[in-house]
Amino acid sequence: MATIKRFEDLECWQEARELVKIVYSLTKKTEFKKDYELVRQVRKSAVSSMGNIAEGFHRNSAKDFMRFLDYSRSSVAETLSHLYVALDQNYINESEMDKAKKHADIVWKKVNNFVTYLNKIAKQRK
């Protein structure tokens, strides 16, 4: 694997960015955008999924980085939970929810794979 010098090059960050785009698109829908608190929460958790990857990348140790990757995974789960509220309130439909879930799964898997890779590297260095 080539050395990654910027967080923007991480696939998990790129996919988290796409999830943020999906969330922002959904929260601009007429009925959804009226629920200011839910919009704020779902956007915040989606942005956090992306931001934690970037923040962790610039930490001084792989252990710290993995902690932030774990925060990112938690934020993805929180984002989905908020979107279920939106679904239950008929702010979004099943198709939109499925799209968000599929992309959240991609983010989750990319982050998990990266954590596995970092653990493998850490074990090799011992």
Q: Exposure of 94 by Cβ count < 10 A (0-12 exposed, 13-18 middle, 19+ buried)?
A: exposed
How much is the pLDDT for 1? Answer: 47
In a domain, 1, yes or no: no
In a domain, 4, yes or no: no
Q: Report pTM.
A: 0.93
In a domain, 117, yes or no: yes
Average pLDDT for consecutive 10-residue bins of the chain (126 residues)?
Answer: 83 98 98 97 98 95 92 98 98 98 97 92 78
Alpha-helical regions (H) of the chain: 11-27, 36-57, 62-88, 94-125
> Do the beta carbons of residue 12 and residue 45 sit within 8 Å?
no
How much is the pLDDT for 122? Answer: 78
How much is the pLDDT for 94? Answer: 98
> Do the beta carbons of residue 24 and residue 43 sit within 8 Å?
yes
In a domain, 5, yes or no: no
The boundaries of the domain holding residue 32 are: 10-125
In a domain, 65, yes or no: yes
Which CATH number does the domain housing residue 82 bear? 1.20.1440.60
User: Residues with Cβ < 8 Å from 20, sequence gap 6 or more?
Assistant: 43, 46, 47, 49, 50
- Distance separating alpha carbons of residues 108 and 16, to the nearest angstrom: 9
Geometric angle at alpha carbon 69, from 51 and 11, rounded to 5°: 75
